[in-house]
Chains A and B, each alone.
Chain A
Amino acid sequence: DTGVSQNPRHKITKRGQNVTFRCDPISEHNRLYWYRQTLGQGPEFLTYFQNEAQLEKSRLLSDRFSAERPKGSFSTLEIQRTEQGDSAMYLCASSSPGGHQETQYFGPGTRLLVL
């Protein structure tokens, strides 16, 4: 039983570069969430997929951010023209339907540092 995996675990990039993160959810989970966590804060919701459909995006997700989940399996989060304020931990979580009882299982996260 494999959990949620994320790659890379760490990414250092220069301002203005593009970066892409990958998330592989638990295989039977059709729901996938991306969160962002900055230092000293709890995670904040970015976007949500049910199967391959992106159903909600937070206002935190500027037009430099794009997320996909082709075929409803793995997901990618791309940040274009990175800024220093994008430095954060990016967490992916997956779940299966259960209403308010559904438990989201998180991956180990990708730590992004923009220089």
Chain B
Amino acid sequence: AQKITQTQPGMFVQEKEAVTLDCTYDTSDPSYGLFWYKQPSSGEMIFLIYQGSYDQQNATEGRYSLNFQKARKSANLVISASQLGDSAMYFCAMSTSGGSNYKLTFGKGTLLTVNP
């Protein structure tokens, strides 16, 4: 069975500093995708970044980067130069395939608070 673990219920960071949100995963599938989503208090899940299991390089999207360590089964999100608008819940997710169904398995999330 696939599982995502996010061990940090809450994190605090000062504005303009960098922060790392931890994510470990467990799967026996050789092929999978890893995603990070942001969920503000409004509730919508906003896609941030994707990493494929066979990708050789770590993914980057603007201020977001994914520190992918396959042997350790970790996929940590790094947010550089934090902004007040980054305050939100952050979810790590993994795609698991069953035929054409690439449903996502989510962790419990980390609540990030950016302090001015």
B20 within 8 A of A: no
- B44 and A109: CB pair below 8 A? yes
The minimal Cβ–Cβ distance linking A71 to chain B, given in whole angstroms, is: 19
Picked from A56, A93, A100, A109, the residue with its CB within 8 Å of the CB of B43 is: A109
Interface residues as binary, B29-52 with A (CB distance below 8 Å gives 1, 0 otherwise): 001110101000011111100101
For residue A103, which residues in chain B have a CB less than 8 angstroms away from its CB? 35, 47, 50
- B97 and A42: CB pair below 8 A? no
For residue A31, which residues in chain B have a CB less than 8 angstroms away from its CB? 100
Per DSSP, chain B at the interface is strand
Number of interface residues of B (CB under 8 A): 31
How many contacts A-B (CB < 8 Å)?
75
Number of interface residues of A (CB under 8 A): 30
For residue A45, which residues in chain B have a CB less than 8 angstroms away from its CB? 103-105
B102 within 8 A of A: yes
For residue B32, which residues in chain A have a CB less than 8 angstroms away from its CB? 100
- B44 and A40: CB pair below 8 A? no
B95 within 8 A of A: yes
A25 within 8 A of B: no
In the assembled complex, the Cα of A41 lies from the Cα of B106 at a distance in Å of 9
In the assembled complex, the Cα of A42 lies from the Cα of B44 at a distance in Å of 12
B116 within 8 A of A: no
The minimal Cβ–Cβ distance linking A74 to chain B, given in whole angstroms, is: 18
In the assembled complex, the Cα of A35 lies from the Cα of B39 at a distance in Å of 14
Q: Which residues of A contact B (CB under 8 A)?
A: 31, 33, 35, 40-45, 48, 50, 55-56, 89, 91, 93, 95, 97, 99-109, 111
Closest 10 CB pairs of A and B: A42-B106, A100-B33, A106-B45, A45-B103, A108-B44, A109-B43, A48-B101, A100-B95, A56-B101, A42-B91
Give 20 pairs: A residue, B residue, CB < 8 Å, sorted on A: A35-B104, A42-B91, A42-B107, A42-B108, A45-B103, A48-B101, A50-B100, A56-B99, A89-B43, A99-B33, A99-B97, A100-B53, A100-B102, A102-B95, A103-B35, A103-B50, A106-B45, A108-B42, A108-B44, A109-B43
